[in-house]
Amino acid sequence: MVCDISRKDVGALGFALQPGSGQSEYLTIYGGLQLGLGLMFLWPAIRAADTRTMLICCVLLHASLALFRSLSLLRYSGFSTMTFAVTAVEWLIAIASVSLLLRRSTSEDSVCRRVCGLMG
């Protein structure tokens, strides 16, 4: 098997891991999807021109996760410490992504102003 799925880890996030179907779903979402997203976010290492696009994707993805996780905290009760930790990490990634995107946009604007100044 590609990875060992611990019932304790799954339970800390509130999942009931059913043999067979549950294990397959968990492995697909938390294995396949995460691998695909990781490879997608590595793309700028191959093609630097796509960095801004990937940062936008990162902001959209992680801000959505953080927003819906936070909404669930307001709507439901009975959370484990793991749920609060995951929420904090999702917000940190979203905020860091926005910060990197803004920093990149600012540096691109200053480069554009320098180039435009040289041309004008």
- Nearest Cα to Cα of residue 56 among 86, 30, 94: 94
How many domains, in total, are found in the chain? 2
- Same domain assignment for residues 67 and 99: yes
Claim to verify: residue 42 and residue 52 sit in the same structural domain: no
- pTM score, two decimals? 0.69
pLDDT tens for 60-101 read: 999 999 999 999 999 999 888 988 999 999 999 999 999 999
Instruction: Give the DSSP H/E element, type plus range, for residue 77.
Output: none
User: Tens of pLDDT along 44-53?
Assistant: 999 999 999 9
Is the pLDDT at 35 greater than 60? The verdict is: yes
Residues 68 and 118 in one domain: yes
The span from the CA of 16 to the CA of 9, in Å, is: 11
Which residue in 34, 42, 43 sits closest to 61, CA to CA? 34
Claim to verify: residue 32 and residue 59 sit in the same structural domain: no
The answer on 81 and 35 residing in a single domain is no
Give percent above pLDDT 70 in the chain. 74
Q: Are residues 41 and 27 in the same domain?
A: yes
More confident residue, 115 or 38: 38
Domain limits at 3? 1-46
